[in-house]
A and B are shown apart, each in its own frame.
Chain A
């Protein structure tokens, strides 16, 4: 059974609308992340959270807002959607927020967002 649940799997939205991508992890991890992969581009880091607090934000736009209602939840709200936001969004988690040599990232299956 998948330990990181992302919902929905596929999402179609119109330009200017708002959507929320859901992520829940059942690994007991303390750190959660969002990554994004647009067509023909590398997977890129967006946010990291530790114990429900924002630790790092690499997105240039305030239209992307993570929301953590519980330690094992990290949803992503995207407002004023644009076609350039079309991508697959991956949620991930790790035991803690330490260095990459000790903390393996575990990923969800992703939400593929298409903005028309």
Chain B
């Protein structure tokens, strides 16, 4: 089946430092998966951070970036300079463009703690 593997947390960084969360995927049942990063802030539900539906493209939002690399089956999330408000759990996920189920396969989530 399909699966997503991401950096095991918690990841602790200091404010203004850079952050990278690794994500690799295996899409055995989907020819052209869509890739997503969701973020869950404390006390809230998951919300979409960014998505990329075409291999080779980059998505960006709130200073975060991720590039869809089909060769390495990766979708790493990066931010050059984090803020304390970036403390959250980050989930990598994949989905199928034309699925009637809109069903996503998620990773385990990576908790990020940003020290002031």
Tell whether B59 is near chain A: CB-to-CB under 8 Å.
no
On whether the beta carbons of B4 and A42 are closer than 8 Å, the reply is: yes
Alpha-carbon separation in the docked complex, A42 to B91 (Å): 9
Q: Which of A12-20, A62-70, A77-85, A95-103 forms contacts with chain B?
A: A95-103
Q: How many chain B residues have a CB neighbour from A under 8 Å?
A: 31
- Contact count A vs B, C-beta below 8 Å: 89
Is B100 within 8 A of A109, CB to CB? no
With known contacts A40-B108, A41-B108, A55–B45 Cβ distance under 8 A: no
Chain A, 43-92, CB within 8 A of any chain B CB? 43-45, 48, 55-56, 58, 90, 92
- B27 at the A/B interface (Cβ < 8 Å)? no
Task: Give residues of chain B (72-116) contacting chain A, Cβ–Cβ below 8 Å.
Answer: 91, 93, 95-109
Contact of B106 among A31, A44, A97 (CB under 8 A): A44
Of chain A, the residue at the smallest CB distance from B106 is A43
By a CB distance below 8 angstroms, the chain B residues around A58 are: 103
Q: A interface vs B, CB < 8 Å?
A: 2, 4, 6, 31, 33, 35, 37, 40-45, 48, 55-56, 58, 90, 92, 94, 96-101, 103-110
